[in-house]
Structure 1
């Protein structure tokens, strides 16, 4: 199985995608909860500052608190999780040219066409239950609205912007 996906076509910069390294990418999302979450545009620095301030205030007033229950570690989550990564950053890095109108995802069974705007909301799945997608991969395609979350487009082999 070829594990590399090319993003070419009507773009300024053709790029190569390697789903095998996305597990280390901070942009990855948990596909078990991603489509149920509400995604508002938030200022991450502001949210972080608020959380740290709240924690600091608590420790000043009450002292340090011991953990009440065992939490799932990051390593356990990575070893058992089902993950995807938003397609938009890759599309943005490739810089579609002014005439680009659609994105074609080529699979082992055919091709799927999406308008550029709809494709920019898509998510590429790369891991199921902590394992790479060997039979359905190297990546699967989830529509941005989650309408195919139970049956994603499988075997994405290459992507062309037209």
Structure 2
């Protein structure tokens, strides 16, 4: 269930979508493609970033989630912005595209621009559960143009 990011990067990294359900950066899928972002949501994002910074400096000691929070998580489908992970991999300057590996057959792979990758989302949960049968992740363009038909079975990302 891991997704490696390889190719023209300084650091090959692996993504584990199974743990993203606990990540504060996750977004409910219905909110990811909404037309407008209210000012209060922008402020909320700043508060979340501040909280992440605080946790990085003073990590919590196995802070769990409440039963109510756990039940709420299991009701929704989520996406994760991929930008932070791409930034951590440090793409080399000569790279121009990314290939989303979706099967054993290279003819089925999808090539997109780096900008499309950096602005995109990976869906990792449907109704609070991991995408097992056609996962581990789906890729969505930032504008939601493929929200009804995401790129499924994303198993690896190759920067080229």
TM-score band, normalised by shorter chain: 0.7 to 0.9
State the number of aligned residues. 134
Q: Map 1:7-156; keep pairs closer than 5 Å.
A: 7-39=5-37, 42=42, 44-45=46-47, 73-108=68-103, 110-156=108-154
Instruction: Answer yes or no: is the 8 Å Cα contact 2:32–2:79 preserved in 1.
Output: no
Runs (4 or more) in structure 1 with deviation over 6 Å come to none
Deviations 1:55-92 (A, max 9, x none): xxxxxxxxxxxxxxxxxx43222111100100111100
Q: Could you tell me how far apart the structure 1 residues matched to 2:127 and 2:30 are?
A: 10
Q: Over residues 21-44 of structure 1, what are the superposed CA-to-partner deviations in whole Å (9 max), with x where a residue is unaligned?
A: 111111101002210153489451
| Structure 1 runs not aligned, ≥5 long | 49-72
Give the alignment's Cα RMSD to 1 decimal.
Answer: 1.9
- Contiguous gaps of at least 5 residues in structure 2: 51-67
Residue matched to 1:4: 2
Rg larger in 1 or in 2? 1
Change (3 A) 1:35 1:93: same
Q: Which has the higher helix share?
A: 2
Shift of 1:104: 0.7
